Amino acid sequence: MIRRRTAARLALAGLALAPLLLGAGEARADEGDEAATIQLWHAYRGAEEEALQAILEAHRAAGGPPVETLAIPYDAFGSKLGAAIPLGEGPDLYIDSHERLGDYRVRGIVAPVGDAFEGEAAFRSNAVQAVTLDDAIWGLPLSQKCVALYVNQGLLKEVPATLEGFAGLRDTLPEGVFPLAYEAQGAYVHSALLGAFGGSLLGPDDSFGFVGDPAVRSLNLARALIDGGVVPSDADGALVTNLFRGGKAATAISGPWLAADLEGSGIDYRVELLPKVEAADGAPMRPLLTVEAVMLSPEGAKRADVRALARRIAGPEAAALRQERARTLTARADVPLPPGDKLLAAFAAQAEVATPMPSAPAMRATWEPANRAIKAFLRGELDAEAATEGARKRFDDVRRPLPPPASPTPLLIVVGLLLLYGAFSLVRQVRSGELVPALRRSIPAYRYVAHAVITVGLLVILPLVVGAATSLWAGRPETGHYVGLANFVDILTARGGPLLATGSFYVVLLVTLLWTLANVFFHLAIGVSLGLVLSRPTMKLRGLYRVLLIIPWAVPNYVTALAWKGMFHRQFGAVTGLINALNQTFGLSIEPIAWFSHFSTAFTANLATNVWLGFPFMMVVTLGALTSVPGDVLEAAEVDGATRWQRMWQVTLPIIRPTLLPAVTLGAIWTFNMFNVVFLVSGGEPDGTTDILVSEAYRWAFTREAQYGYAAAYAVLIFLMLASVTRLGEWKAGRRAAREAAAARAAQAVEGGGH
Amino acid sequence: MVAVSVQQVTKSFGATKVLRGVDVHVPAGGFAVLVGPSGCGKSTLLRLLAGLEEVTSGSIRFGEREVTRLEPRERDIAMVFQSYALYPHLTVRDNLAFGLRLRKTDPAEIGRRVDEAAAMLGLSHLLDRLPKALSGGQRQRVAMGRAIVRRPALFLFDEPLSNLDAALRAQVRVDIRKLHDQLGATSVYVTHDQVEAMTLADVMFVLNGGVVEQQGAPLEVYDAPATRFVAGFLGSPAMNFIKATIEDAGGGGLRARLGDGSANLALPPGLPARPGQAVEVGVRPHDLELCDESAAEIHLKVDFVELLGPEIHAHCVLAGAPVIACLETRTGVSVGDTLPLRVRRLHLFDQESGRALR
Ligand SMILES: Nc1ncnc2c1ncn2[C@@H]1O[C@H](COP(=O)(O)OP(=O)(O)O)[C@@H](O)[C@H]1O
Ligand SMILES: [Mg+2]
């Protein structure tokens, strides 16, 4: 019997291990013909991917080694590469935007292309400039992308020669049609205007470039265009597309992607060079140029066959094929444009007057400050100097030098002491002779809980410890160093700035507390009220209402958040629609609210969304708790003279309070960390004021130079705060229980055990 | 102190008629007991008095005041619930003070009344406890205290003793009656226990199937039950019933031919029965008396004997019907004896209507 069971177990174990063994065999097989296969990663889809496959087939047909391709979403590209290449699992070559080169180079996941490069003459000079870092070529340019001017030919025959000239169009265009639509709020398109004035977002030596005369003049011009009704305010990419597609904008500044959105719209358009700027002495607007390039991993760069493949992908036949099949604008100088393709010709001409996006890692840190500066200025909160100077400070703050490496000795001493203490107490217990028998007795118990302990350890404890440890480091993961508690000191001293400035830990904490309190208040008020209403047995269709009211909770919260964000859009949101309807019906003249321009309204928008998401939970908990309120106690109160209101406040609520309390604690913790709503609805607007601690931590980790240590320190602080508040609550409850027990015991003693 | 007058009250829950025209009159300061088997509508009637339910038809008056449509808090009543219904989140003190606080009574006055009630009920040392730390008897007293401090014109009790053990029940029963006498307010007390009803009531209302079958002073009702139901419901052990047919005994007298016809019982003169009528003869177990063979009206053979101490219950069969006789212990009756018995008093009920014939 026993033997049969053992055999069965062995068989099971064998089955479980089989894939591992087979996998190992496969891996070995991989290594066997590694020399032959080339790994290629890209982010292409549709026609572009087909073109790439055709090119690879041609290469194979010409005797090249087999190529395995992997399509990775664009947003995940960098992190996947960074994770795979150092482990030797990544691609030999990959296709990505040139502006990431600086970052990849710092992380050591890209290498110069060496003899794969045919020479400067083969490519457009802008493209070559884009992939050149410190005189070496780090990628083979494939295609280039930038914005240009779309013109609706049905609305406009003659395009004004200068940007200022667009103002004159207002009188000739139909009512409600903007002369020009572009994303005035964003630094990406604005930098074309900045370029006309000779400025750039990133200055020399990785300094912040969006300051000084060019910045101020470009901003003033942008405001003049908006104030003059030439350009719509609050425009984002989707709005620009909608306006142009709907014939509500005579021209639009956008990239090749707009052409795809215009398919089937019936709009008769052409593409032209961006206009010149009179205020800049007639200099042309200079958009940012993005160059797509083939890049080689350090391992791949060593292989001649990989370099040959890269050369072919960037070669003239491939370029022609891509141009023909996917209509991508080639970066090569020696491949003619398809004859008659005016769109491609226009973008090619624009690429000549574009500025390659700087690929230095510092470039990524310019966006957030620049975007905020433009928004604050256009909202009229700050003048141009103050806005750009503030942006520079923010940039410098993010780019500040890392704290100096700290000696790990104190940490080692603390860890050592802890280990020593542990060892000491273990030894003492073993000596006392109780531990070993106790352990032996408990072995079956340990066997029962082992899998749970291991799972929790791996999935909960380990990440927690790693996260906490990360907070003691600074810098990027590849280049960081141990800094002790410097991150915490930085956070708690607001990095040397004023303690109560926007974005300082204390202000964000205050906002977070306000956010949590307001949310919990409304969750409770609405949830409990609805619970009370729905628990009344006389109500008809109770079941239906319950289901309807639980729906907000059942929908994934990011879906709800995005829906609400749409409703709060200033021009096209449902709230504005409601206001317009009110205005029309009652002849009022309420202005549509720019929800995300002020702290109060942006906070309210976030609050409304999260209240909508959160009240069903409280409602459900209340419904459950109400079943613990005996009906006759309520009747006793009624006889005692309590009104309905008094019964609710003095009987029902106190009785369900203990049941609600854990739910409130839980709700408070969820709200305190409600990243999705804050990030998706207001996104911290305006100016990061509505950010809460978690979304702030997220920004430090993912939009500000990958300062994971700094972000982890935020996370540790959040954890400590929540843990101590929860513990405090438990401690208080414990004390109350102890007090009651003591009182009962005392009374028992007095009574002497009678009835 | 207020008189209670319930007139032609009916109450239905949906299609179920629970009360079908009830009249109840309690004089001011009286102690009325509503008694009846469970499900007969006692609690419903009490809740109508409290205002927790609304009458379907009929009217309720407290003294001169029409209260039929008033809210409970406008009726100046206090109620003790079967489950006690103490506020679980309040200490005993706050439980007692709750109603007074709602009425914005002066705090000093509240303190005085709470202390007084607590002293009266022996709760003084429990004032700071929560209900969950009390025994059943203590909770019951707190529920009483909560009613007392309010000094209402009318006390309503819904089976307040049914959750207590037997010994405690007997004691609290006495306490309740004493309190009533002390406080002087009118009380309406609901119970299914006929002993409680007999011992407590000034006036008793026997409910059955949503109507008052009989009302009156407990002893009156006990001695002269108006229906077979009332006769069977009151008294312990219950009255013995034997189906019978009336026969002419000759000489102007009537007799009842009992059960299977194996025994007869002469009826006292003056009963409104006619020969041939189908009746039930009712005899309380205590109305059966051992006597000399010569004076015996019936003979019973003892099947089984219960010894209760001062008396014994002899289980016998009379003309095919089971009969219990309560006899003094010293008579030394044992199983197998044939007892010569005299019927001290008998009741006669019409089989069809169940009404008493007298
Ligand atoms: N709220 C109610 N809804 C429906 N039926 C009820 C309700 N309350 C009582 N009843 C019914 O009325 C009858 C009398 O109930 P009740 O007055 O509580 O009897 P009791 O004499 O045992 O106190 C019972 O049959 C009970 O089922
Ligand atoms: Mg009842």
Q: Which atom of ligand 1 is nearest to the CA of B36?
A: 21
In this prediction, residues A262-284 reach a mean pLDDT of 90
Contact A755 B77 (CB under 8 A): no
In this prediction, residues A510-528 reach a mean pLDDT of 94
Contact A755 B137 (CB under 8 A): yes
Q: Which residue out of B54, B79, B169 would a mutagenesis test of the A interface target, given it has the greatest number of A Cβ atoms within 10 Å?
A: B79
Q: What is the pLDDT of residue A14?
A: 46
Q: Which burial class, exposed, middle or buried, applies to A325 when counting CB atoms under 10 A from its CB (0-12, 13-18, 19+)?
A: middle
Q: Looking at this protein, which amino acid is placed at residue A484?
A: G
DSSP type of residue B235: S
Across A155-287, where does the E strand assignment appear?
178-181, 249-254, 269-272, 276-277, 283-284
In this prediction, residues B289-307 reach a mean pLDDT of 91
Which residue, by CA, sits nearest to atom 19 of ligand 1?
B39
Length of chain B in residues, anyone? Answer: 358
Contacts of B37 (CB under 8 A, 6+ apart): B192, B208, B233
- What's the pLDDT band for A29 if we cut at 50, 70, 90? very low
CB distance A335 to A322 below 8 Å: no
Q: Which atom of ligand 1 is nearest to the CA of B44?
A: 17
- For residue A2, count other CB atoms closer than 10 A to its CB: 6
Handedness of CA B133, B138, B143, B145 (dihedral sign): negative
**Is B13 close to ligand 1, i.e. is its CB under 6 Å away?**
yes
Does the beta carbon of B70 lie under 8 angstroms from any beta carbon of chain A? no
Q: What is the pLDDT of residues A680-698, one digit of tens each?
A: 888 887 778 889 999 988 8
Secondary structure (3-state) at B29:
coil
Residue contacts between A and B (CB atoms, under 8 Å): 81
For B156, the enclosing helix (H) or strand (E) is strand B154-158
Residues 642-681 of A with CB under 8 A from B: 642-643, 646, 650-651, 654-655, 657
Q: Which burial class, exposed, middle or buried, applies to A317 when counting CB atoms under 10 A from its CB (0-12, 13-18, 19+)?
A: exposed
**Is B44 close to ligand 1, i.e. is its CB under 6 Å away?**
yes
Q: What is the pLDDT of residues B2-36, one digit of tens each?
A: 999 999 999 999 999 999 999 999 999 999 999 99
Sheet holding B16-26, edge to edge: B16-26, B4-13, B57-62, B65-66
Using the predicted structure, report yes or no on whether residue A573 has a pLDDT greater than 80.
no
- b/e burial code for range A267-301 (CB count within 10 A of at least 16 → b): bebebbbbbbbebbeeebbbbbbbbbbbbbbebbb
Q: How far is the CA of B47 from the centre of ligand 2 (A)?
A: 10
- For residue A745, count other CB atoms closer than 10 A to its CB: 11
In this prediction, residues B136-146 reach a mean pLDDT of 93
Which residue, by CA, sits nearest to atom 8 of ligand 1?
B44
Q: What is the pLDDT of residues A302-315, one digit of tens each?
A: 888 899 889 989 99
Does the beta carbon of A640 lie under 8 angstroms from any beta carbon of chain B? yes
Q: What is the pLDDT of residue A750?
A: 61
| Per-residue tokens: A532 | 């009370």
Q: What is the pLDDT of residue A405?
A: 83
Q: Which residues of B touch A641 (CB under 8 A)?
A: 72-73, 99, 102-103
Using the predicted structure, report yes or no on whether residue A71 has a pLDDT greater than 60.
yes
Backbone φ, ψ for residue A55 (5° rounding): -65, -45
Q: What is the pLDDT of residue A15?
A: 47
In this prediction, residues A425-436 reach a mean pLDDT of 84
Using the predicted structure, report yes or no on whether residue B93 has a pLDDT greater than 90.
yes
Handedness of CA A30, A36, A41, A46 (dihedral sign): negative
**Is B39 close to ligand 1, i.e. is its CB under 6 Å away?**
yes
Range in A333-337, A402-406, A677-681, B30-34 the model is least confident about: A402-406
| Sequential DSSP letters for A133-158 | ETTEE-SEEEEEE--EEEEETTT-SS
Q: Which residue out of A628, A634, A640 would a mutagenesis test of the B interface target, given it has the greatest number of B Cβ atoms within 10 Å?
A: A640
Task: Show the CA angle centred on residue A336, arms to residues A332 and A342, nearest 5°.
Answer: 110
**Is B294 close to ligand 1, i.e. is its CB under 6 Å away?**
no
Contact B73 A744 (CB under 8 A): no
Percentage with pLDDT > 70 across chain A: 93
Q: What is the ipTM of this complex?
A: 0.89
**Is B41 close to ligand 1, i.e. is its CB under 6 Å away?**
yes
Residues 707-736 of A with CB under 8 A from B: none
CB distance A101 to A138 below 8 Å: yes
Tell me how far apart the alpha carbons of residues A451 and A449 are, in angstroms, rounded to a whole number. 6
Backbone φ, ψ for residue B352 (5° rounding): -75, -55
Domains of chain B in start order, with CATH, are 4-232 (3.40.50.300), 240-350 (2.40.50.140)
Cα A98 to chain centroid distance, Å, stands at 21
**Is B40 close to ligand 1, i.e. is its CB under 6 Å away?**
yes
- What's the pLDDT band for A748 if we cut at 50, 70, 90? low
Q: Which residues of B touch A640 (CB under 8 A)?
A: 73, 78, 98-99, 102, 146, 150
Residues 40-69 of B with CB under 8 A from A: 50-52
Contacts of B285 (CB under 8 A, 6+ apart): B237, B239, B240, B313, B323, B324, B325, B326
Q: Tell me the nearest-neighbour CA distance from A668 into chain B, angstroms.
A: 25
Using the predicted structure, report yes or no on whether residue A23 has a pLDDT greater than 50.
no
Q: Residue B46: nearest ligand to its CA?
A: 1
Tell me how far apart the alpha carbons of residues B193 and B209 are, in angstroms, rounded to a whole number. 17
- What's the pLDDT band for A730 if we cut at 50, 70, 90? confident
Q: Which residues of B touch A632 (CB under 8 A)?
A: 81, 83, 85
Q: Tell me the nearest-neighbour CA distance from B216 into chain A, angstroms.
A: 29
Contact A640 B102 (CB under 8 A): yes
Closest Cα in chain B to A639: B72
Percentage with pLDDT > 70 across chain B: 100
Q: What is the pLDDT of residues A199-212, one digit of tens each?
A: 899 988 888 989 88
- Ion ligand 2 neighbours (CB, 5 A) are B 43
Q: Tell me the nearest-neighbour CA distance from B143 into chain A, angstroms.
A: 10
| Per-residue tokens: A79 | 């992190």
Does the beta carbon of B237 lie under 8 angstroms from any beta carbon of chain A? no
Range in A433-437, A505-509, B8-12 the model is least confident about: A433-437
Contact A751 B126 (CB under 8 A): yes
Handedness of CA A193, A195, A198, A203 (dihedral sign): positive
Contacts of A218 (CB under 8 A, 6+ apart): A190, A193, A194, A196, A197, A199
Whole-prediction pTM value? 0.75
Contacts 24+ apart (CB under 8 A), A480-484: A480/A402, A480/A708, A480/A709, A481/A402, A481/A405, A482/A405, A482/A406, A482/A408, A482/A411, A483/A402, A483/A403, A483/A404, A483/A405, A483/A406, A483/A709, A484/A406, A484/A407, A484/A408, A484/A410, A484/A411
Q: Tell me the nearest-neighbour CA distance from B236 into chain A, angstroms.
A: 29
Does the beta carbon of A742 lie under 8 angstroms from any beta carbon of chain B? no
